[in-house]
Amino acid sequence: MLQIKNYCMEYIEGKRVIDNLNLSVREGDIYAFVGRNGVGKTTTIKSIVGINHITDGDILLDKISILKKPIEYKKNIAYVPDNPILYEYLTGIQYLNFIADIYEMTYKEREEQIKKYANKFELYNELGNLISSYSHGMKQKLVLIAAFMHNPKLYVLDEPFVGLDPKASFTLKELLKEKANEGKIIFFSTHVLDVAERLCNRIAIIKDGKLIADGDMERIIKDKTLEQTFMELVGDE
Amino acid sequence: MNKLIKLIYINLLGLFDINKIIVARSEGVKSNLEKKMVITVLIGLFYGYVIYSLFSYIKINNSYIIFNIGFFISSLICMISNIINIEPILFKNNDNDVLFSMPVTRYQILLSKLFVIYIRNLFYVIVIMGAILLSYLSYGINVSELFVLMYICSLLIIPFIPIVISTIIAYLNDLFKLKTNDSLLFKIIKIMIVGVVLGGIFLLFKDIFKYGGNLNKLLDIFNNKIKLLYPLIMIFDIALNRGSLFSFIILISLPIIVIYIYSLFITNNYLRMCSLLKGIKKASSFVYKKKFKLGQILGIVRKELCCIINNKVYFRSSVVTLFIFSIVLFILLNVIDLDRFKKINNFMLYFNTYLPMILAMFVTLNNSAISSFSLEKDNIQVLCSMPLNMMEIILGKWIPSILIGSIFVIINGSLVWFYLEIPKWTIIYSYVIPFIALLFVSLTSIVLDYRFIEKNETDDNVIIKGRIISFIPTFLAIIIGIGPFFLPLYGEYELLLGGYALGMLFLLIFLLLYLIVRHKKLKMNLIN
């Protein structure tokens, strides 16, 4: 279970970007984290994966605290950033091997997983090329392969569908459902409310650094669409 | 014309980070533009002073020769710089896509980019040829106004031809790569061409072994060879040194004609060449090769080494530079006849004391963190999300510097051991001191980078800091190599060198302790 307890985040003293955020994500949940631009989605995600410091509160994964045991915590997560950040002067396979080394995968495991996910995302034949020659979509696929291959407990994805072609988007959705059925935790932010509505079983809506809705998708949207619910809750600003 | 001027202006903004300074100034940050320009100029003057001192120190009979040598060196430096920069600036720049879609001609786009490359080349030429002229004047020779005028006009010509040759090389290289699909045949051809170039360099310098002791004879032979190799130098020699106005006119007009023909050809084919070169990639077939599991630190090391090897520009500027230093050492060891100097009082004491320090300088002069944090850019955030602590990341970045530098420590130490008859302690210190200096300078570079890396690059204070910080390891290397020359010498040079090594080790330990103590706060600065 992922637990975010009384999480607060300040970039400048006195100015809270995120104020007292509390939420829990269970095993098997596909959890959508939505909100307008600049409300703190990426900030929250970066704190969950250990990039940003936490001003107050704590974040726990299966009771392992990110503040007290950061290395052990991070062994069980995979992070897909909103912009595929990669080493331009590595080839695809060199990058994947690097990730495999960091997550201490055996050579047999890495071979199986790389082949499996690279074929799923149809990137296998491009793995020998430099990342600098990849298009945006190919880079996004590579980051996704790197995230899936070490099979973590928690997947944190920041707008993962941006740049993916329709087939890759479909593949990603299927993989996320598969992982959720295996008991993994999927936590992702997206602007595509349609996808969130169909894919996710739980949702959180954030506004101005505060959680304004959190819970099961059916309970939150009732008999409306997610888009309608979102517009009602977030309002005209 | 207006559009051309605007394009040139845009390209010039990218030169020396001028645009970042202007943006910072517009945001109300106190401008350090003057400081930045002064630092750049001071660095240029420093290099110019070194050249001036070198030629003033070497009193050669025929002082005209130094002009030809200066012409050759400045052309060579422009060529090396252009071979690295031409392709990314002219053909593979990301702004090409946007520019081609705009209502500007290809000629205007090309000219604006070439102009900036020319300005950069001109900066190198002015530094070198300016120093050469001052050195020439130190011989006590008066020069006429006509000579100065002809000299200045000649300087304006030098940057042209390297641009043309570099473009041809870059285009042919990429065309062949595309046609042969980067096959083994293409690689063999490239190796053969490199072999021919190295052979040419050997032929150029082979007489060093024969006439090592006779500098004037050597320079005469070198002068004749470079005139054959690069005929423009011959025309320059006749024009300036013999005062031939006709030769001067040819000197000026020949490059202009060449650049005109070049610009016509390139303009007509620019779009095609850019598209062609962008399309170059390996055929999409991949075969998985088994890779053994490495630990986390070694995984980072492997990643860093792959980045260095795959990034040709960085590889050339780091590893190839170290290789060149070793070649220079090899040549010096063949030229210098130590026996002639042994008659000088205390010469061997000086030699045994300073040799390890000079070797240390060779290995550390260009070692400013082969793997630096600045190169990570946004990847540092992703690294922070991985199960790695900052000490592991630092170690993973430090080890490649040590590995690559150590290869050259061994090469240089072995050259000294093979060629010179020196005491065993000098041999031992020829390995030990450069190695410790390598550890110290590379870690200093990483720590400075780590401490001062800033995400917000529009702050011009950061830009100034960045430029100063990148030179600190170089200055450290110079101090390590030359600093001891100012210390008093002792007969027991073994103890002095031992103390020197220990001193650097203590500084190294101090740096490590600093990292251990401050790593949490440093990490906060790094990602926030």
How far apart CA A209 and CA B91 sit, in angstroms, is 45
Query: How is residue A89 annotated by DSSP?
Result: T
How far apart CA A76 and CA A50 sit, in angstroms, is 12
Return the top range by mean pLDDT from A80-84, A173-177, B309-313, B365-369: A173-177
Chain A segment 13-32 residues within 8 A of B by beta carbon are none
Q: What share of chain B is helix, strand, coil (3-state, %, to 5)?
A: 80, 0, 20
How far apart CA B296 and CA B289 sit, in angstroms, is 20
Judged by CB atoms closer than 8 Å, whether chains meet at A52 and B527 is answered as yes
B279 touching chain A per CB within 8 A: no
Kindly report the nearest CA distance between residue A236 and chain B, in angstroms.
31
Judged by CB atoms closer than 8 Å, whether chains meet at B385 and A126 is answered as no
In B, which residues are within 8 Å of A127 by CB distance? 286, 288
Indicate which of A48, A72, A87, A119 best probes the interface with B, i.e. most B CBs within 10 Å of its own CB: A87
CB-nearest partner of B294 from A72, A101, A124: A101
Kindly report the nearest CA distance between residue B315 and chain A, in angstroms.
11
Nearest CA in chain A to B312: A89
Task: Return all residues near B481 (Cβ < 8 A) that are at least 6 apart.
Answer: B357, B358, B360, B361, B362, B365
Percent of chain A having pLDDT more than 90? 49
State the pLDDT at residue A74.
92
State the pLDDT at residue B28.
59
Chain A segment 178-237 residues within 8 A of B by beta carbon are none
Q: How many residues does chain B have?
A: 528
In B, which residues are within 8 Å of A107 by CB distance? 290-293
> How many contacts, defined by CB atoms under 8 Å, are there between A and B?
116
Kindly report the nearest CA distance between residue B55 and chain A, in angstroms.
41
Indicate which of A42, A80, A101 best probes the interface with B, i.e. most B CBs within 10 Å of its own CB: A101
CB-nearest partner of B381 from A11, A51, A107: A51
In B, which residues are within 8 Å of A115 by CB distance? 288
Q: DSSP 3-state assignment of B172?
A: helix
In A, which residues are within 8 Å of B312 by CB distance? none
State the pLDDT at residue B262.
86
Q: Residue A157: what are its φ and ψ, rounded to 5°?
A: -125, 130
In A, which residues are within 8 Å of B285 by CB distance? 125, 128
Q: Which residues of chain B have pLDDT under 50?
A: 455-458
How far apart CA A103 and CA B379 sit, in angstroms, is 17
How far apart CA A44 and CA A4 sit, in angstroms, is 10
For residues A126-134, average pLDDT: 89
Handedness of CA B124, B126, B129, B133 (dihedral sign): negative
Nearest CA in chain A to B310: A89
- Predicted confidence (pLDDT) per residue in A145-159, tens digit: 999 999 999 999 999
Nearest CA in chain B to A90: B307
B388 touching chain A per CB within 8 A: yes
How far apart CA B461 and CA B200 sit, in angstroms, is 46
Enter the tokens of residue A51. 């990039």
A46 touching chain B per CB within 8 A: yes
Kindly report the nearest CA distance between residue B263 and chain A, in angstroms.
28
B94 touching chain A per CB within 8 A: no
A12 touching chain B per CB within 8 A: no
State the pLDDT at residue B456.
47
Residue A115 contacts residue B288 (beta carbons within 8 Å): yes
How far apart CA B508 and CA B506 sit, in angstroms, is 5
In A, which residues are within 8 Å of B287 by CB distance? 128
Neighbours of B459 (CB within 10 A): 17
How far apart CA A50 and CA B389 sit, in angstroms, is 11
Residue A212 contacts residue A56 (beta carbons within 8 Å): no
Burial class (CB in 10 A: 0-12, 13-18, 19+), A55: middle
Judged by CB atoms closer than 8 Å, whether chains meet at A71 and B388 is answered as yes
State the pLDDT at residue A155.
95
State the pLDDT at residue A156.
94
Q: DSSP 3-state assignment of B59?
A: coil
Q: How many residues does chain A have?
A: 237
State the pLDDT at residue B19.
66
In A, which residues are within 8 Å of B389 by CB distance? 70-71
Instruction: Note the ipTM here.
Output: 0.86
Kindly list the domain boundaries of chain B, sorted by start residue.
2-278, 296-527
B301 touching chain A per CB within 8 A: no
Task: Return all residues near A210 (Cβ < 8 A) that are at least 6 apart.
Answer: A18, A19, A20, A21
Angle formed by the axes of helices B424-452 and B493-527, nearest 10°: 20
Write down all domains in chain A, each with its CATH number in brackets. 1-76+198-237 (3.40.50.300)
Kindly report the nearest CA distance between residue A81 and chain B, in angstroms.
8
Q: What residue type is assigned to position B496 of the chain?
A: L
B306 touching chain A per CB within 8 A: yes
Residue A122 contacts residue A168 (beta carbons within 8 Å): yes
Nearest CA in chain A to B311: A89
Kindly report the nearest CA distance between residue B313 and chain A, in angstroms.
11
Indicate which of A53, A77, A83, A89 best probes the interface with B, i.e. most B CBs within 10 Å of its own CB: A89
Judged by CB atoms closer than 8 Å, whether chains meet at B290 and A111 is answered as yes
Judged by CB atoms closer than 8 Å, whether chains meet at A74 and B286 is answered as no
Kindly report the nearest CA distance between residue A143 and chain B, in angstroms.
11
Closest CA to B411 of B485, B475, B333: B333
Q: What share of chain A is helix, strand, coil (3-state, %, to 5)?
A: 40, 25, 30
How far apart CA A28 and CA A38 sit, in angstroms, is 29
State the pLDDT at residue A182.
94
B385 touching chain A per CB within 8 A: yes
In B, which residues are within 8 Å of A152 by CB distance? none
Beta bridge partners of B393: none
Q: Residue A152: what are its φ and ψ, rounded to 5°?
A: -80, 175
Judged by CB atoms closer than 8 Å, whether chains meet at A128 and B311 is answered as no
State the pLDDT at residue B158.
87
Judged by CB atoms closer than 8 Å, whether chains meet at B306 and A91 is answered as yes
State the pLDDT at residue B401.
87
